[in-house]
Chain A
Amino acid sequence: KAGVTQTPRYLIKTRGQQVTLSCSPISGHRSVSWYQQTPGQGLQFLFEYFSETQRNKGNFPGRFSGRQFSNSRSEMNVSTLELGDSALYLCASSRDREGSPLHFGNGTRLTVT
């Protein structure tokens, strides 16, 4: 069974540009969550999607957005990139039941120059 797949693995962008990251969940998982990981702040929750609807959102500016498609695949977008957006962005999927663990992808490493 394939795990959570994130593409691309690495991205280098310039300040002011925008970027789109993609996540394919494990087959049968309908919940997808996104996290940002930085050395200073650790792992922080960005947002969660279920059945194409955003169910929860973390404390991030509106430049961070996402969506989920009918096949549960998800994308997140960051507009007007800032240097501080450099981070490892992790996607996780689950069966969306109490007691179901989150399964993480290997992440997308975004570097903003």
Chain B
Amino acid sequence: KQEVTQIPAALSVPEGENLVLNCSFTDSAIYNLQWFRQDPGKGLTSLLLIQSSQREQTSGRLNASLDKSSGRSTLYIAASQPGDSATYLCAVLNAGGTSYGKLTFGQGTILTVHP
């Protein structure tokens, strides 16, 4: 059974700092890994999707890496801003089936960026 763990559970940083969020998963047989952002009381916003054959993806100040063999992914946020404050969730799509909608989520990292 796939298990996804995110470390740290919470992180508080001053504005402008670069930071790294970690995600690990127990079964390396995955199609892809997605990073999401969730604001309080809202749904999830997809940030980055990394295919199992890729090593990293970048979007603006965000960079996500994937080491499938070791079961790890990191989300790097450069020059953090107060607007980045949210819960960040990592999720994997297991390989071996025809279903693309069943993700296994981590518990998330609550990020607070203070001015």
Contacts and interface: CB of A to CB of B under 8 A. Distances in A.
Is A bound to B?
Answer: yes
Interface of A: 4, 6, 31-33, 42-45, 48, 50, 55-56, 58, 90, 92, 94, 96-107, 109
A102 B44 CA distance: 9
Interface string B25-54: 000000110101000011111100101000
A55 B45 CA distance: 24
In the A-B complex, list the 3 residue pairs whose CB atoms are closest, starting with the nearest. A33-B101, A48-B101, A43-B105
Given A104-B44, A105-B43, A106-B43, A99 B32 contact: yes
Contacts of B77: none
Contact of B34 (A90, A101, A107): A101
Contacts of B41: 109
Q: Please tell me the size bucket of the interface on B.
A: 20 to 34
Contact of A107 (B42, B103, B106, B108): B42
Contacts of B114: none
Contacts of B99: 48, 55-56
Given A42-B107, A43-B89, A101-B49, A96 B100 contact: yes
B69 interface: no
Nearest to A106: B43
Contact of B100 (A42, A58, A97): A97
